[in-house]
C-alpha cells in the first residue's frame, strides 16, 4: 500500500527541468518513493527554455526549500558548468543529470550510466571482461560510456553521427580508461553488449541505431528509450534471440537512486 503525498509549508520541492518536459514520467514515481519512506518532498516538472536556463538556476538557488534539481535534455551539458563541484562520472561525461545543493553552490552527478547498467545487471548480464558498443555520445550516452568501462568492459566502441561529439567524449574517457575506448560504427559484430543511448526508436519511422541484421543471439541489447515500451531495436533483438533491457529497466533502476540522492540518503562522491 502506497503512502499519501504530503504537501505543506515544510515540503521540499525538487524541480525536474527540460525542454520539452511533457514526456517525463519520473515526477510521480520519485514523489511516491519519498512518500513511502516518510520524506516530505515532491518532484515537479519545470519547462525551461535553453535561453532562460541561467536566470532560472539563479532563482532556484534563492528557493530555500529546493535542495536538488533533476536535469533532462537539453540542459545536462549546460548545467555542468553551473556546478561548483562534480563527481568523476560527471566530469568524464561533461554533463550532469542531478544537482544537489551544497553550502558553496550545486554539486553535480551523472547517474544515467548507473541506472542503465543496474538495469542491465538486473537482467542477468555482466559486462566485466567483455567488449561493448555504445551508440550516442550525448549527456546520457556519456554517463553510460563511463559506467560500462568502470564496470570492467575490456573495450568500448562509441558511435555517434556527430563525430566531434564522439571524439570529444573519447578523449575525456581516455583520461580515466586509457587504451580501452575507441571510435565505433553501427556494426555490432564482435561485441557482447550493444547499448543505444540515442532517441532513435522514439518516433515511428526512425532508423535503427545499429545494423540489426548483424546481431547474434549471444549479444545483450539495451535501450534508453522508454516510449514506446518496446522499441523496434528491442523487438528486433528479441526476435533474433538476444537478451534485452528496454528503457523501463533503466528508468526503474535509476528512480530509487535519484530519490535517495534528493532525500540525502545517499551522498555524492565528489571528485578532487
Of 6, 256, 242, 4, nearest to 124 (Cα)?
242
The pTM score is 0.87
Average of per-residue pLDDT across 104-110: 94
Whether the predicted pLDDT of 134 surpasses 70? yes
Tell me, yes or no, if 76 is annotated catalytic.
yes
Whether the predicted pLDDT of 147 surpasses 80? yes
Say which of 76, 130, 174, 267 is annotated catalytic: 76
Q: Could you tell me which residue, 156 or 104, shows the higher pLDDT?
A: 156
pLDDT tens digits, residue range 2-48? Answer: 899 899 999 999 999 999 898 788 999 999 999 999 999 999 999 99
Whether the predicted pLDDT of 146 surpasses 70? yes
pLDDT tens digits, residue range 48-62? Answer: 999 999 999 999 999
DSSP 85-138: EEBHHHHHHT--SEEEEETTEEEEE--HHHHHHHHHHHTT---TTSEEEEE--S
Domain annotation for the chain: domains and CATH numbers: 12-110 (3.40.50.10860), 113-250 (3.40.50.720)
Amino acid at each position: 500500500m502506497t503512502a499519501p503525498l504530503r504537501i505543506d509549508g515544510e515540503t521540499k520541492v525538487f524541480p525536474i527541468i527540460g525542454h520539452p518536459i511533457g514526456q517525463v514520467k519520473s515526477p510521480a514515481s520519485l514523489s511516491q518513493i519519498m512518500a513511502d519512506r516518510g520524506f516530505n518532498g515532491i518532484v515537479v516538472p519545470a519547462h525551461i527554455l535553453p535561453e532562460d536556463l541561467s536566470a532560472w538556476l539563479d532563482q532556484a538557488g534563492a528557493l530555500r526549500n529546493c535542495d536538488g534539481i533533476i536535469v533532462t535534455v537539453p540542459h545536462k551539458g549546460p548545467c555542468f558548468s553551473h556546478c561548483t563541484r562534480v563527481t568523476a562520472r560527471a566530469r568524464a561525461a561533461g554533463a550532469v543529470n542531478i544537482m544537489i545543493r551544497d553550502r558553496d553552490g550545486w554539486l553535480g552527478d551523472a547517474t544515467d550510466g548507473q541506472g542503465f547498467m543496474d538495469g542491465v545487471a538486473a537482467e542477468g548480464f555482466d559486462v566485466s571482461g567483455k567488449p561493448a558498443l555504445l551508440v550516442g555520445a550525448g549527456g546520457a550516452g556519456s554517463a553510460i560510456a563511463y559506467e560500462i568501462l568502470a564496470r570492467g568492459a575490456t573495450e568500448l566502441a562509441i558511435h555517434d553521427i556527430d563525430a566531434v561529439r564522439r571524439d570529444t567524449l573519447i578523449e575525456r574517457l581516455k583520461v580515466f580508461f586509457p587504451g580501452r575506448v575507441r571510435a565505433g560504427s553501427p556494426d555490432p559484430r564482435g561485441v557482447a553488449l550493444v547499448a543505444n543511448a540515442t532517441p532513435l526508436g522514439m518516433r515511428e519511422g526512425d532508423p535503427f541505431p545499429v545494423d540489426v541484421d548483424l546481431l547474434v543471439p549471444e549479444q545483450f541489447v539495451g535501450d534508453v528509450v522508454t516510449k514506446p515500451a518496446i522499441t523496434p531495436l528491442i523487438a528486433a533483438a528479441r526476435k533474433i534471440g538476444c537478451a534485452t533491457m528496454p528503457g523501463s529497466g533503466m528508468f526503474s533502476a535509476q528512480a530509487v537512486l535519484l530519490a535517495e540522492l534528493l532525500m540525502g540518503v545517499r551522498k555524492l562522491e565528489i571528485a578532487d
